[in-house]
Amino acid sequence: MAYLDNLTVFVRVVELGNLSAAGRDLRVSPAVASNRIKELEKHLGVRLFNRTTRQLMPTEQGTVFYDGAKRVLDAIAEAEAAVSALSGQPRGTIRVTAPLGMGRRLIASGIPEFRDRYPQIEVRLRLSDHNVDIMKEGIDVAFRLGLLEDSSLRMRGVMECERVLVASPKYLEARGEPTAPQQLVDDGHDCLLLRFPGVREYFWTLATPSGPMKIEVRGPFDSDDGDVITGWALAGRGIINKPRFEVEPFIRDRRLKVILADTPPPPIQLAAVYPHKKLQDPKVRLLLDFMAERCQRLIKDILAGK
């Protein structure tokens, strides 16, 4: 098994770009990960990485070896999944990712219960509002709010989620409440944006009687953390565009108020995204079924005030 362990470390180092990240992912120290790479290089008689201060880049030989090593590990994973299906005892590791807000509210709290049901399955959860590269980073299941853009992936819809524009009474008292979408721009409203480095413009789409209306909104603040912009809205700093389930408690206690209710943002799809082969894995199917039912139930409870 030592050679397979070396292959596993090597593949994760290529995918994640450094030893520390690969070590954390595999739950081994950077020193152990480094030794496994050295053993592999000694066995093959080639250098697999060019080392810089921040990142390990595969050499030409490393790139070629990665393709073969990945096929070997994928074949082993598929064989183990087939055995699990026959034995009725799913086991192994599932790597899951989700946006921060949704992940905290819906996914993270369900992991212990899932583990109680299936004690031989380990779940490694990564929460990030960045668009994680599923294939590159070896993710098994990604829960997302939005459309599927990568045609190499498969999507399982969980439910459509209502979206709303909300602001605090403090902000609306100071700046006035917009009564038409164009006022967001014409009156210079502060729209608090969820966006990432490299994004130069931002649009909100609102549903109007004449069809979807795209508005180039602006604001003094933006963040790559959805909960941060919610906090700014609560502090009276501007207007946010959010799935209703994320802000419903604040709407109910009147800390936030829905605006432009007659021209809301269109609903957004909550979905699970995964590489197409992963659905053949029993443990992935179990997680998808468990989380889909849980998300539907929790969102309905949140909206009902339970």
pLDDT in tens for each of the 306 residues of the chain? 688 888 888 888 888 877 887 888 777 888 888 888 888 888 888 888 887 766 788 888 888 888 888 888 777 777 776 676 556 677 888 989 998 888 988 999 999 999 999 998 989 998 887 777 787 778 889 998 876 665 667 888 899 999 999 999 999 999 999 999 999 999 999 999 987 654 555 789 999 988 999 999 988 888 888 899 999 999 999 999 999 999 999 999 999 999 999 999 999 999 998 887 666 678 888 999 999 999 999 999 999 987
Tokens linked to 185: 């721009």
Cβ atoms within 10 Å, residue 248: 20
Tokens linked to 15: 């995918």
Supply the pTM of this predicted model.
Answer: 0.73
Domains of the chain: 1-86 (1.10.10.10), 89-160+268-306 (3.40.190.10), 163-266 (3.40.190.290)
Tokens linked to 270: 């909550």
CA proximity to 122, closest of 133, 111, 132, 138: 111
CA proximity to 259, closest of 189, 202, 306, 203: 189
**Inter-residue contact 299 to 143 (CB < 8 Å):** no
